[in-house]
Every structure is written in structure tokens, then in C-alpha cells.
Structure 1
Amino acid sequence: MKEIVQINLDNEMDLILAHKRCMKIAEMCGMPSSFQTRFSTAVSEIARSSIAKGKDSLLVLGINIIKSTQKEIVAIITDIVDLKSCSPEAFNYASRISGNFEYSYFDNKSTTTISQPIASPGLLSEAKINSLVDYFKFEPPLSPYDEIRKKNIELIALSEKLTESENKYKQLANTIPILICVINERNNVLLTNESLESYLELPLLAFDRKNLSNFVHPENIEGILEGWNRAKSNRSDFLAEIRIKKGTEYIWHVISIIPNKAEDGKFNSWLVYFVDINAQKMIVETLKDNTELKAIQRELESANSKLVFKNKELEQFAYIASHDLQEPLRKIMIMLSRAGEHLSEHQKKEYYFDRITLAAGRLSNLITDVLNYSRVDNRNQVFSEVDLNETLSEILGDLSLVIEEKNALIEIKPLPTVFGLDTQLRQLFYNLVNNALKFNTSQPSVTISSTNIPPDNSVISPENYHIISIADNGIGMDSQYSERIFDMFQRLHERDQYGGNGIGLALCRRIIENHNGRINFISKPGEGTVFWIYLPKEIVNKKAVQ
């Protein structure tokens, strides 16, 4: 059933709204006057019973398309009370005047369905049905009560969006493996994430000497307090290596204190986060006096550099959690408060509510992208054979609307079957093809092919790697961005030019690293881009490298 309008049945005014909207829908569907009256009266009888004796009653009016030559208007009234046993006379009367009447009561929910066939179903096209939805969506209020009711529904919907955004933000902050808290200039702890709460034996109530001494090594407390006071005075960052107590041991962490700006540009709080670097410290201490480990020092340094890179990624997560995700949240909260002030209805509808929706959507997309990036993990996943021809065919199906809209030309030459994780490889090629379509100002042309000849004089051996290229005729990019383009949250264009959050190519690189491969590109502004993907032909272990 195609839903047209909903009405909460709470009082007599809602009964009037229900009757008028039933009559209007029946009229717009070309129903004769006698049938309009019979249908609307039957619905009104049950609605009156719901208002008088029901609870949490809801009326839904819609169009049921049985087939192209058979369509009907449908009214569904739901309640948590057995309405028929409460008002048998009303139900008997409604069933007599309506030829299509059904009632059921199951699992503490009553459902009354009243339908009326449409005399000329062929005239009621899909466009006509959509126009009915738009009519009631933008219909002028029938009364001051109806106007207030509509605004209340809009505010409830906005409130639900805000709650959903807040829950996603909390989920992100609590799943990051970093100890995080927010403090004000009076040293009061305003907020902690679950990681910090579970790590500490005592609650952290204030960022002062007394509370820090409960878990920070005595030799580090003075340095933290000096750095904290200096950061407050200069409105600057503070970074140091400290030891935090866990059980009976002290674990090395990096502490970072970052000022947090409010919407008006003022500093109203500070973000404090602790990143575990104990493994790196142990490596350094071990190598100091142990000459027997010199032979493997280079391998340990390589592992250490990877840990540093991972810590950098975690810092980027913390920054997003404290700033980019809070910015649209603050905008939503400010807009909601302003929406209740003495403004005209035109201003509320045309200005503030639209901006709230955009801010909430931006936050939702950003949180989703960040969570997708953080969840690209090979733990306990098994490599299998993946036919890239089938993968690309499914991807083109997913992008069919964009391809059709832009009249894009897609050419896929025969591709190999590789060893890998099907879901991650699908995400890799989806992001690259989608970018080729998106970053293009003319008719997109994309060619995907496999070759045995490397594009440069690199050390990549075609005997050991599948070499796949994705070439487009898009806007291209300057070679100066070759080191930045695969970093998290890096954008080469303004948000209003091209959408996205700067995570797609970072995700591609991470997927390639999971498969022990490589990715690079060749590009010039205005001349398109060619991405080169190198995937090993064999795998050392059956399980993916973690």
C-alpha cells in the first residue's frame, strides 16, 4: 500500500481532520459523491470509537495497487484496545455502509481495515498517487490546531534524528581504543568514554593533582600539571609521554590535550586523550643494551613505524570525535532552540528546518564513513578465489542509476580471478569506479583492464602480481597531491563542488594493505586519472594477514 497521510486520533479535532481527508482523497481519486460519503462515514465511525475508548490510535490513509486495473482506497486504524468489543454498534454500522470491512485483534493490537474500490483505476497513475502525497504534505493547515499538530510532528521527527546522531557519536567514541575525557578550565571532568571508565579503578572527577595521583606515575604528575597550565594560558596543545597505572603495573601512554572551540569561536572545553605506546617503549628499552638483537633491529623499527602510523590514525579518530562530529551536532541543537522562538512559519519551514536536516545528514554520513574505515579488519577472515569480472558486474549494477544519469561509457576488459576477501575487494573497486564517475565534468568514460606490463620501472614483478588499471577521463589531479590523496579526511575540492568526506581512498589503501598489495596512480589536471592496483597471485597463509 502506498501511504498518503497519517493522523493520530487523540480528540474531536482529529476526528474532523480524518473525515475531511477521507473525503478529499476519495474526491481526488474520482470516486462518486455517494461512495465518498459512505467511505468517509465508515472511517469516521471507527475513528470516533478509537478516540472515545481506544489508546494510541493511528489512522493511515493510502492507495492499494492490486494490479493495474484494480486499485482501492484503504483506511487502516490501529489501536492497543479491542475496539470492536467496546463499540459493537459502531462496528456493525460501519460494516453495513462499507462493502469492504475487516477487523482483527491479535497480540494486544486491533486493526480495522476499510477499503473502497476506485471506479477508474487506469486514471490513477503512479504520478497521480505521488501528487496526492505531495498535496497532503504541503497542504495549508485546516485550522490553528492542524497547524500546531503539523509543527509538533516536524519537531518530533527532528528530535528523533538528533537522538540517532547522538547515539552514533557515542558509539564511535566508545569503540575507539583510546582513553578520552573532556575537561573545562576549572579542571572539572565533563565527559569520559567507556574505554577510560573501564581502565581506571576510580572515577576521574577532576583533572588535578589529587585525582591524577590515583592512576598517573608520581614522576609524571608535575609535568602534566605544568603542561596543562601552559596550554590553558596559551590556548595551545600539550603532548607528553607518561605512565598510567593498570593493576600493579604502569603502562606508557602519550597524553594529548587539545583546546576545543565552541560555535562562537570561544574555548569552552579541552579534549584529553591517552594512547598506549607501551610496546614501542619496550622495544626501545630492549635495544639499548642488547647487542644480540642488532640483526633484527631493522625489522623492529619497521614494526615500530607501523605502530606510530596506527597511533596517528587513532589521533585522527579522536580529532573527528571531538570536532568534526560535534560541529554538526551543535548546529542541530542551536537550530532547534531557534525554531521555537517567535519566527514566522515561512522562516521555520524554508530556513531552519532545511539546515537542520543537512547538518544531521552530514553527521550521519561522516560517522558511517569513519566506522566503515575502522571496521576494515581481516581478523579470522579467510582468503578465497574472487572473480573480479563478477565483482565488477555487480558493482555496475549498484551504480546503474549514476551511470544512466551521466550517460557514462564503461568498458570492462577480461579480469583475473584473485585471492582475497570478496567484501573488501568489492568496496575497493566500488570506491574507485564511483570516484571516476563523480569527479568528472563531461561524459564519463571508464576503462577497467588487466595487464602484465607495469606502468613504470617499479620493482613490482608481473610474475608475482596481478596488475589492474582503472582509467577515466575525469578532472584529474596535480602530482603534488600524490602523498596526500590516500590520507584520512583529505579533500582536494570544496564540499559544495563534490560530495564525500575524504575517506574513500584511505579505505582503498587500507584494503590493498590487507591484501599485501600496492596502489598508485598517474594523473594530470584536466586529463583524467589512471589508478594501478597490484594484487599478489599467491598468498603465504590461508588466513588474511592481521
Structure 2
Amino acid sequence: MEEIVRINLDNEMDLILAHKRTMKLAELCGLVISAQTRFATAVSEIARCSIANGENSCLVLGIKFLNGGKKEIGAVILDKVNLEESNPEAYAYASRLARDIVKKYSNGVYEISLSLKIPYSGIISPARISSFIEYFKKETSLSPYDEIRKKNIQLIELSEKLSDSEAKYRQLTDTLPLLVFSVAATGAVTLTNKKMKDVLGSGFSHFTQTSIAALFHPDDVAVIGNAWDSVKRRGSGFSGQARVNIKDEYLWHIVSIVPDNNEDVSGYIVSMVNIHAQKLIEETLKDNKALRQAQESLKSTNAELYKKNKELEQFAYIASHDLQEPLRKIRNFTSLAERNLSEEEKEKLYFNKINSSAERMSRLITDVLNYSKLSVDDRSFSAVDLNVVLNEVIGDFEFQIEEKNAAITIAELPFIQGIPIQLSQLFYNLIGNSLKFVEGKPEVVVNYEKVEKNKHLYHKVSVIDNGIGIEEKHLSKIFTIFKRLHHQSEYEGTGIGLALCEKIIENHHGSIEISSIPNQGTTVDVYLPV
């Protein structure tokens, strides 16, 4: 079937669209008004069943090609639910109107097909079918909701194109003979190509003076370190030669650092091209007067390598910039809609769903950056009063506590040696989970005791709640980054919170344990060294 138009079936507005566009397609095909009405009503009855009882429902209208050059209008409704069983009366009524309904089931999806023969179907040429498609693309919107839906479809198409572009970019950078990675203004490594991971491993997470000392030859550390400081201070790029530690062997590379600045991103692109073989030949030729001509040729080759490296730098910059495009487009669209629609229209037209999607994407990026920036520096440790930390966290949740009438009891907690901001993140996530994952009134208790574990003394802080709990089979997975046990529509979040907690505890040389009973509650035990 040649698809003409597709409609997602979510609400009553979509039902109106389904009936209107079925009527219009029948009209464009030359059917009389009685045939248009009969067929559109049959389609609407099935669509109504989908909106009331279906899951992931959509309607596809198109032209079917039959033997002998004949054609018919086709309406296919796709749904995960058996609509015939959910509403037999409506299904039977539609069958009487359309006479012939075909139902198929494949890969977990029911396909319900209705058809209507087109008289004088020879006039429906490929050119006319193309004109039908263009008509529905340019059709005046039925309502502001319909206009928003069209914009959303365009955004989805754009997102898919950007995903394809990103995949091609990654494939290209993974096959190029160079090491390349992007660095945030904080020094955190945000993206690396496959070769970089293969050579340096997943432990390479920050580009700082400390990691520069480990990555480059001792004689080259000062050059690269000064260049890194200069690029950050002045905003100008750097390109030079240095020896890189590749699996305990120092190899010559062209090292380039390029600022990556735009409205959403502030960071740098670092790339390193292996020139070790050329460097060895160059050093040899310096002491061989008989091969000066070859030396000149080598210089030309090196110049070409520099040129190619500059091109790679520019490519890496552009690609990194474009990775932020989906978030920027969603924000621009919601801002435009917010200026042009009234508050009543926003609520009626699911404006909040669009906005929450952008907020969730932003929150996810923030959480990933927070996770990537967690590091250990002994100079960051200081005396921390956990009572102060908990009181500040409780203050942050003041609105949620009041809204849910939550009861929170905190025992007297100790002073410990730790990183204040990380400990605040730790208890923010634990208290936040206790307030979030609960059906009724939250009851949270924070207990403390000093215990001996594996012949060492620990501060044991326990956060106990009366929430929905966790099934035992899931306990081994909850510290996995991005692992969610509930759908986003049930409980919001990014699946990073507990993974972040575990990393903070590891930074403090402690451990974290969780025990839980479904529908009764969860206990999180945090062990911090005395």
C-alpha cells in the first residue's frame, strides 16, 4: 500500500483528524459523499476503540494497487491490543459499514485493514497519489494541537537525521588513525573515539596537569601543560609535537588543542596524530648529508600531515557542536510555542509533555556530567559534620516533605573526613529516593552506629524508608548507571542516582549495601571509615 498520511491515535482530537482525513482522501479519489461517510465512519469506530483501549495506536491511510490496474483506498490501524475483543459492538458495527475487515497479528501488533474500491481507478495515477501526499503535508491545521503535532513530527525526523549523522561521525572518528577526545571546561573528558579508549583505557576521564604528566614524556610535560593553560586562558588553539605514552612506549604525535565555544558548549577538542615513523626518519636524515633530498621530501610529507591534522581538528569541532543540536531545537520550539499559546491551550495540547522531555534531556546531561566529574583528590578531604549535611539536604526537600506530609527522623550523626559536596550529593540522592518511591505518606529514619567490619572501624549511617521496595532479583543491578526499575511515567529520574552514590562511597574508601522488601520498604547502609 502506498502510504498517504499517518495519524497517531491518542485522544479525541486524533479521532476528529482520523474521520476528517479519511473523508478527504475518499473525496480526492472521486467517491460520492455517501461512500465517503460510510467508510470514514467505519474507520472512526475502530479508531475510537484504539483511543479508548489501545496501546501505541496509529492509523495509516493510503492507496492499494490491485490486479488489472484497479485501486482501492486502504485504512490500516496498528495496535498492540486486540480491538475486536475490547469492544465487540463497535467492531461489529464497523464491519457492517465497511463490509470487509481483515485482522492480522504479527510481532506483537494487531493490524486491522479496511478497504474501499475506487471507481474509475485508472485516473489515480502515481502523479495524483504524489499530489495527495503533498496535500496532506500542506493541509491547514485543524487546531493549534494539530500544528504542534506536525512540528513534533518534524522534530522527530530531525532527531533521526541527527542520530544518523552522529553515528556516521562516530564511525568515521573510530576508523581514523588518530586519538581524539573532547574536554569540558572543568577538564572532564566527555567524548572519546574508539582508538583513544583502546590505547588509554576507560580510566582516562580527566585532562588535567596530573593526567598530562602521566600521558606525555617527562621532557614534553611542561610544553603541553603550558599550552593547555594558554588555550584555556586566551581561547586560541595550539598545535605541536610531543611524545605520548602508548602502552608504556613513548611515540611522537602531533598534538592539537582547539577551543569549542558556542551558546551551549564550552570546552575543547584534543587530537593526536601518530608521526613516530616520520620522526625517526627525520632524526636519521639530520646526520646523513647524502640524503638531504629525501629529507626535503620528508618535510613536505610532514607539512601535508600538519594540513590533514588541521582538517581533522575542524571536523572534530563541527561534529562536537552538532551533537548539541537536538536539545537546542526542542528548547527553541517550546520557547516559540510558549510565546504563541495561552496557558489553557498549553495544558490542553500537552505542552507540558514537550517541555518535560527537554527538561529530562537537560537533567540527563547534567547527571552524566556530575557522574563523570566525580574524582578523588586527598586535598579535597576535610572535617565534615554529617548533621549539617543532612539538615541542608532536608531543607532542599522542604517543598516535597510538606506536600507529602513526610515524617523524617534523624539520629545524632558524627564528624567524618570527607569531601563535603560529594557527601551532600550522596544523601540528596538517598533522601530523594525515599521521598519519591513511596505510595502513601513517606516515613524516613536515619540511624547511626559505629561498627567493626573486616577488622576495621566504620561509621554506619542507615537510611530506612517505608517505600515500594525493590524485588530481590533487581538488587544486583541497581548500581548500574542508567538502570531504571520503573517506567519514566511512573517515577521520574535518569537511572544515575544510585550509581553516583556508589562512586562517591568508593571515593571515600567505604561501601554501600541495600536490603529491601517489596511494598514494605528499603534500607540503605552506608559504611564510611572512622
Same fold (TM over 0.5): yes
2:275 counterpart residue number: 277
The 5-angstrom pairing of residues 452-531 of structure 1 reads none
Length-normalised TM-score, structure 1: 0.55
Residue 321 of structure 1 aligns with which residue?
316
For residues 123 and 69 of structure 2, what CA distance do their matches in structure 1 show? 10
Change (3 A) 1:73 1:187: closer
- Aligned twin of 1:394: none
**Shift of residue 108, structure 1, vs aligned partner:** 2.0
Letter in 1 for 2:276: N
CA shift, 1:75, in A, is 0.6
Q: Which amino acid aligns with 1:341?
A: S
Q: Contact 1:189–1:205 (CA<8 Å) still a contact in 2?
A: yes
Q: Quote the offset at 1:229 in angstroms.
A: 3.0
Paired amino acid for 2:312: F
Q: Report if aligned partners of 1:212, 1:221 keep a CA contact under 8 Å in 2.
A: yes
Secondary structure of 1:248's counterpart equals: coil
User: Is the Cα–Cα contact under 8 Å of residues 202 and 214 in structure 1 kept in the other structure?
Assistant: no
Query: Cα RMSD between the aligned structures?
Result: 3.3
Among 292, 304, 312, the residue aligned to 1:309: 304
Taking the aligned partners of 2:210 and 2:320, their CA distance within structure 1 comes to: 30
Alpha-carbon separation, structure 1, partners of 2:83 and 2:205: 54
**Tell me, what secondary structure is at the counterpart of 2:31?**
coil
Provide the C-alpha distance between the structure 1 equivalents of 2:123 and 2:187, rounded to a whole number of angstroms: 70
Counterparts of 1:66-105 in structure 2, within 5 Å, are: 66=66, 69-105=69-105
**Against the structure 1 CA distance between its residues 260 and 31, is the aligned structure 2 distance closer, same or farther, given a 3 Å change threshold?**
same
1:401 aligns to what?
none
User: Once the 2 structures are TM-superposed, how far is the Cα of residue 334 of structure 1 from its aligned partner?
Assistant: 4.2
Please give the per-residue CA displacement for 1:158-194, whole angstroms capped at 9, x wherever unaligned. 3333333333333333332211233355544443333
2: CA distance between counterparts of 1:154 and 1:201?
39
DSSP-derived class of the 2:220 partner: helix
Is the CA contact 1:8–1:58 (under 8 Å) kept in the aligned structure 2? yes
Question: For the residues of structure 1 that align with 2:339 and 2:32, how far apart are their CA atoms?
Answer: 36
Measured in 2, the distance between the counterparts of 1:7 and 1:331 equals 27
Q: Secondary structure at the match of 1:206?
A: coil
| 8 Å CA contact 1:45, 1:90 repeated in 2 | yes
Matched, 1:337 2:331: yes
Whole-angstrom distance in 1 between the partners of 2:233 and 2:142: 59
What does 1:91-170 correspond to in 2, within 5 Å?
91-170=91-170
Rounded Cα–Cα distance in structure 2 between residues aligned with 1:68 and 1:133: 24
In structure 2, C-alpha distance between the alignment counterparts of 1:168 and 1:99, rounded to whole Å: 49
Q: Residue deviations 1:404-443, cap 9 Å, x none?
A: xxxxxxxxxxxxxxxxxxxxxxxxxxxxxxxxxxxxxxxx
Shift of 1:105: 1.6
Structure 2 vs 1, CA of residues 340 and 52 (structure 1 numbering), >3 Å: closer, same or farther?
closer
Q: How many angstroms does 1:295 deviate by?
A: 7.1
**In 2, Cα distance between the equivalents of 1:154 and 1:237?**
37
Which whole-Å deviations, capped at 9, do the CAs of 1:333-365 have from their partners, x for residues lacking one? 545422222469999xxxxxxxxxxxxxxxxxx
Q: Which residue of 1 aligns with 2:36?
A: 36
Q: Which residue of 1 aligns with 2:210?
A: 210
Q: Distance in 1 between matches of 2:105 and 2:223?
A: 70
Distance in 1 of aligned mates of 2:145 and 2:92: 31
Between Structure 1 and Structure 2, which shows a larger proportion of helix residues? 2
Structure 2 gap segments, 5+ residues each: 342-530
CA distance in 2 between partners of 1:168 and 1:45 (Å): 44
Give the deviation of 1:61 after TM superposition: 0.7
**Structure 1 CA distance for aligned equivalents of residues 286 and 30 of structure 2:** 89
1:279 alignment partner AA: A
- Which residue in 2 is equivalent to 1:517? none
User: Is this contact kept in 1: 2:212–2:224, CA < 8 A?
Assistant: no
Distance 1:108 1:343, change over 3 A: closer
Q: How many residues align?
A: 341
Question: CA–CA distance in 2 between the matches of 1:288 and 1:268?
Answer: 42
Which amino acid in 1 is paired with 2:245? K
- Cα gap change, 1:207/1:330 in structure 2, threshold over 3 Å: closer, same or farther? closer
Corresponding residue for residue 260 of structure 2? 260
Q: In the alignment, is residue 172 of structure 1 matched against residue 172 of structure 2?
A: yes
Q: 1:383-394, aligned counterparts within 5 Å?
A: none
CA distance in 2: counterparts of 1:177 and 1:190, whole angstroms: 20
Give the percent of matched residue pairs that are identical in Structure 1 and Structure 2. 43
Structural mapping, 1:187-266, within 5 Å: 187-201=187-201, 203-262=203-262
**Equivalences for residues 13-24 of structure 1 within 5 A:** 13-24=13-24
Q: CA deviation at 1:2?
A: 2.6
> CA separation in 2, counterparts of 1:204 and 1:249?
17
How far apart, in 2, do the equivalents of 1:26 and 1:147 lie? Answer: 23
Q: Is the 8 A contact 1:280 1:304 kept in 2?
A: no
Equivalent residue of 2:204, what SS?
Answer: coil
Give the 3 Å change call, closer, same or farther, for CA 150–331 of structure 1 in structure 2: closer
CA contact (8 A) 2:209 2:225 kept: yes
Distance in 2 of aligned mates of 1:246 and 1:31: 73
Cα deviation for residue 276 of structure 1 reads 0.8
After superposition, residues 442-457 of structure 1 pair within 5 angstroms as none
Which structure 1 segments of 5+ residues have no match? 348-546
Q: How far apart in 1 are the matches of 2:334 and 2:316?
A: 29
Which whole-Å CA distance do the structure 1 matches of 2:128 and 2:340 have between them? 27
- Give the AA of the match of 2:273: V
Counterparts in 2 of 1:183 and 1:92: CA distance versus 1, 3 Å: closer
The TM-score normalised by the length of structure 2 is: 0.57
Deviations 1:232-266 (A, max 9, x none): 444433233221112232111121222334259xx
Question: Per the alignment, in what secondary structure is the counterpart of residue 180 of structure 2?
Answer: strand
Matches within 5 A, 1:523-542: none
Query: Partners in 2 of 1:185 and 1:7 — Cα distance?
Result: 45
Amino acid at match of 1:212: I
8 Å Cα contact 1:260/1:270 also seen in 2: yes
How far off its partner does 1:76 sit?
0.9
